[in-house]
Amino acid sequence: MQPEMQELLVRTGPGTPMGELMRRYWIPALLSREIADPDCPPIRVKLLGERLLALRDSNGRAGIIGEFCAHRGTSLFFGRNEECGIRCSYHGWKYDLDGNCIDLPQQPSYAPEIKLTAYPCVEQGGVVWVYMGPPARRPEPPALEWSLLPDTHAYVSRRWQECNWMQALEGAIDSSHVSFVHRYEMDFDPMHDTAAGRKYLKADPSPIFDVRQSDAGLTILTRRNGDADTYYWRITQFIMPWYTFIPPFGDHALGAHAFVPMDDENCWTWNINYYADKPLDEVQLKAMKDGKGIHGQVLSGTLRAVANRDNDYLIDRAGQKDRRSFSGVIGFAIQDSSLQESMGPIQDRTQEHLVPTDRAIVVARNRLADAARALRESQAEPPGVRADDQRLRAGSTLLGRDRPIEQWYRDALAARPDNPIYTV
């Protein structure tokens, strides 16, 4: 990779090509339950290099505004959320969710001239979404399948990951790593055990990738040898600019991620499990809340993983030797983040050596870079902005070796209520 391409992909602050691209989408900012009640304490939220504040006003409306008071830069995190506004504790300046200064005690006539950054929000699927782009280009609300389901059908979590967002995204679209780092975890993790697909993942560590462009981003078709005259296919969806849909394992719930930059050296990793057609049961919910599968345990208040770089991710060298964990790190979520964070805050891709199983990563990089350039040069509509293009699903199947995958996946993976979930 050339240094120019590296910079294009990893820099997401205001005015950068990738940052401007990302601001054209609805961004998952925080969970609705993090600001559950009217006039509850505000939450700091950092997105795309901007320090913001999320709060819910007295009428129950959620909003996201700039963190700092326009007076002398005090953080409004320490302010009073009261009577449909946040009041700075230093000198009493008060702002509503549209960023308007609605009370300036020292000089009331000056208040109409003061305005903070404020971004429009919607709540959907238990998430507060924010749009940070040009008002005239604001798209329809998201139509990702999991975001439109009843609360009983999906569980959503987020955690702080201490590396650039691209490292996390590339891990999620790299199906070949499952055969190694998650090799032993699949046998006892409660959201992966019992699935027949595990044996194909273990038996064939060198899958064949076929990557197709979709209106939303990419469809990544990964082929391994199956039984007799079959291939085992796992089809992952990459929906621009940061979503991945993960094929389920057996009867377990579907999975999804979003990797949203906080800044250039940290990101928010969103984790979603859901059924399209039925509620999650209590056993599954408990496992997810306990950090099993793709979720991970986090420290209260910071959302930093309990197993983190300061404690070497609680690596168990004995467990690595006796096959409790391939890497010695326990848990799907932390196995991934430990290796992605080990690359450093921003991986130097000019030094990497890619092989054929990295094809999906290469195509995804180019898809993102092309979209950022097209937006900068011609204001072209980015892929995946339209709600209709987001109605996709991941899946897995066994097909005869003489059957083209094209005849199967386009209709089978449409996110429609009448479509069954395909899983092995």
pLDDT in tens, 70-79: 999 999 999 9
Locus of tokens 């991970």: 296
Query: Does the pLDDT at position 176 exceed 90?
Result: no
Q: Where is average pLDDT lowest: 30-34, 61-65, 100-104, 171-175?
A: 171-175
Section 87-106 average pLDDT: 98
Provide the pairing of β-strand 50-56 with 43-47.
antiparallel
Amino acid occupying residue 162: E
Query: Does the pLDDT at position 191 exceed 80?
Result: no
pLDDT bracket for residue 190 (50, 70, 90): confident
How many other β-carbons are positioned within 10 Å of the β-carbon of residue 226? 22
CATH class, range 26-137: mainly beta
pLDDT cut 70: percent of the chain above it: 100
Q: Is the peptide bond before 190 cis (omega within 30 degrees of 0)?
A: no
pLDDT of residue 105: 98
The whole-angstrom separation of Cα 335 and Cα 295 is 11
- Contacts for 7 with CB less than 8 Å, ≥ 6 apart: none
The whole-angstrom separation of Cα 127 and Cα 123 is 6
pLDDT of residue 179: 87
pLDDT of residue 192: 80
- Contacts for 115 with CB less than 8 Å, ≥ 6 apart: 70, 99, 100, 101
Query: Does the pLDDT at position 141 exceed 90?
Result: yes
pLDDT of residue 323: 85
Section 152-173 average pLDDT: 97
Section 174-199 average pLDDT: 86
pLDDT cut 90: percent of the chain above it: 89
pLDDT bracket for residue 234 (50, 70, 90): very high
Q: Which two tokens stand for residue 10?
A: 């990893």
pLDDT of residue 218: 97
Query: How many CA atoms are closer than 13 Å to the CA of 5, on its beta-carbon side?
Result: 13
Q: Tell me the H-state helices in 68-221.
A: 165-172, 197-203
pTM of the model: 0.95
pLDDT of residue 184: 85
Q: Which CATH number fits domain 145-412: 3.40.1350, 3.90.380, 3.30.450, 2.60.40?
A: 3.90.380
272 φ, ψ (degrees, to nearest 5): -135, 130
Section 379-406 average pLDDT: 95
pLDDT of residue 357: 93
CATH 3.90.380 in the chain, residue ranges = 145-412
pLDDT of residue 186: 84
pLDDT in tens, 312-339: 999 999 999 988 889 999 999 999 999 9
Q: Tell me the H-state helices in 291-400.
A: 317-321, 332-342, 359-378
pLDDT of residue 275: 95
Query: Does the pLDDT at position 194 exceed 90?
Result: no
CATH 2.102.10.10 in the chain, residue ranges = 26-137
First to last CA, the chain: 36
| pLDDT, mean over the chain | 95
Query: Does the pLDDT at position 56 exceed 90?
Result: yes
Section 211-240 average pLDDT: 95
Strand pairing partners for 389?
none
pLDDT of residue 35: 98
Cβ atoms 22, 12 nearer than 8 A: yes
